[in-house]
Amino acid sequence: TSELDKDGYAVRERRFGRFSRTLPLPTGTKPEEIKASMSDGILTVTFPRSQPDKEPKKITIS
């Protein structure tokens, strides 16, 4: 999990010129739920938080 800053952001970056960024998405994120917008040169990407597993998983170790 990521710590959020006081404004609720997990990541904020500032770059000038061309750049690319790859973001690992949480398991279960649906591509159709990802939203992106650009305003005044600021790209904002949002996606819903995934729900944690409610039931513990049992792993057999032999």
DSSP secondary structure letter of residue 59: -
pLDDT at position 16: 75
pLDDT at position 10: 72
- Beta strand pairing status for 35-39 and 42-46? antiparallel
Cβ within 8 Å of residue 36, ≥6 positions away: 43, 44, 45, 46
Whole-prediction pTM: 0.48
The token pair at 3 is 């710590």
pLDDT at position 1: 43
Instruction: Name the stretches of the chain with pLDDT < 50.
Output: 1
